[in-house]
Amino acid sequence: MRMVDLIEKKRDGKELNTEEIQYIINGYTDGSIPDYQVSALTMAIFFQGMTEKERADLTMAMVESGDQIDLTAIEGIKVDKHSTGGVGDTTTLVLGPLVAAVGVPVAKMSGRGLGHTGGTIDKLEAVPGFHVEIENEEFIRLVNENKLAVIGQSGNLTPADKKLYSLRDVTATVNSIPLIASSIMSKKIAAGADAIVLDVKTGAGAFMKSLDDSKALAQAMVNIGNNVGRKTMAVISDMSQPLGFAIGNALEVKEAIDTLRGEGPKDLTDLCLALGSHMVYLANKASTLEEARQKLEEAIKNGSALKSFKTFLQSQGGDASVVDDPDTLPKAKYVVELPAKEEGYVSEIVADAVGTAAMWLGAGRATKESQIDLAVGLELRKKMGDFVKQGESLVTIHSNQEDIEKVKEKLYESISLSKENVVAPTLIHGEIT
């Protein structure tokens, strides 16, 4: 087989077969096929697309390029949740303990990564003592015992995807639905999930800004999952404004605790119940979605969701007293309100820009080397559709720097007010199966 012939085949819009895709991915991973040939191929894919069979083959070839996590020692159906990323998305922190409380095993592998706030691991590390440096056997034991554990990402998961993603990043080929879908799905499948619930965000703060693109990406991922034998479904959820109120690490832990207690923001609660119901249903812990939802609501009401969070924190070295006394979480030196300059209805909160403001405070990493400040971040006081009086707070800023003029300016730019009544955006735009 010659790579040049395969590039030509794809350039001319023909379908690559399983062996050809394996040849490309193996050769690229071991270095025998150079970057310039793979760049040409990804550009051909960008324009010609990929068939369903090619997408499934590409996903599995990337899964097989590195380690695959074996979760067979964990009893039950392992359901993973993946979000395509947004601003202040506290769902993972809530969903883990919530679905674990009704018996769904959650074996979560998480990363740190870049962005507006830290990843799930960073957020959890705001709890004093909590750590993810545990051995594989301990991880499995904890999931069997408590139904929930979190471990850091293994070094050699989907190396082909790592290489391909870096290449796409500098060749203007990130934005291809078959390539995005297989990239995301390869990581979930290598991490050992039996079933996958996807939270595909849509709107200004999302990777996919338009509803049509979000639906197409969701459908592409769902089809890949189902074609390779993993039950997969997707919820399309709104990210035109940040989810919940808190954007920041310790602040989001506090928000997750409030939500598990039944006192969280309505949008975050509703989304967690929607995603959680699908997880419980796919794990065969309920025979209908309605029954799944009732079980989750009951777990919040009777305190078992909160208890599950405590047990989880404790089992990984964390100080579980933060659950009853969130004051022991890291706190910022300065807590400053952002007063509305005039009255009106909140008509826009540009999620991306608000996330950037949080990152400037130190809540997230701009580069891999950046240090995260777990204490800082933002708490929205108003969401789209709310009325605000002049002088009333729009946002509470938690900062360890005294000079936050730039942050304030950014926030004023990102929040728009209107004299006219504003309807809050729909939270869930659809489900894809």
Residues with a known catalytic role: 82, 161, 168, 183, 187
Contacted entry of Ca ion, ligand URA, none for residue 183, CB cut-off 5 to 8 Å set by kind? ligand URA
Does 25 bind ligand URA (CB under 6 A)? Our answer is no
Q: How far is the CB of 303 from Ca ion (least distance, A)?
A: 22
Closest CA to 351 of 205, 151, 166, 217: 205
Query: Which residue spans within 158-297 are E strands per DSSP?
Result: 195-202, 231-238, 246-248
Does 62 bind ligand URA (CB under 6 A)? Our answer is no
Contacts of 30 (CB under 8 A, 6+ apart): none
Contacts of 88 (CB under 8 A, 6+ apart): 116, 117, 242, 243, 244, 245, 246, 247, 248, 252, 351, 354, 355, 358, 378
Dig out the tokens for 335 from the structure. Answer: 């807590």
Does 216 bind ligand URA (CB under 6 A)? Our answer is no
Q: How far is the CB of 149 from ligand URA (least distance, A)?
A: 23
Query: How far is it, in rounded angstroms, from Cα 427 to Cα 7?
Result: 42
Q: How far is the CB of 165 from ligand URA (least distance, A)?
A: 6
Closest to Ca ion by CB, 3 or 246 = 246
Helix (H, G, I), strand (E, B) or coil at 56: helix
Residue 98 φ then ψ, to 5°: -65, -50
Q: How far is the CB of 168 from ligand URA (least distance, A)?
A: 7
Contacted entry of Ca ion, ligand URA, none for residue 202, CB cut-off 5 to 8 Å set by kind? none
**Residue 251 identity:** L
Does 42 bind ligand URA (CB under 6 A)? Our answer is no
Q: Any bridge partners for residue 141, and if so which?
A: none
Looking at residues 152 to 181 of the shown chain, list those that interact with ligand URA (rule: CB under 6 A): 165, 174, 179-180
Instruction: Give the residues lining the site for Ca ion (CB under 5 A).
Output: 88, 90, 244, 246
Does 183 bind ligand URA (CB under 6 A)? Our answer is yes
Contacted entry of ligand URA, Ca ion, none for residue 246, CB cut-off 5 to 8 Å set by kind? Ca ion
- Residue ranges binding ligand URA (CB under 6 A): 165, 174, 179-180, 183-184
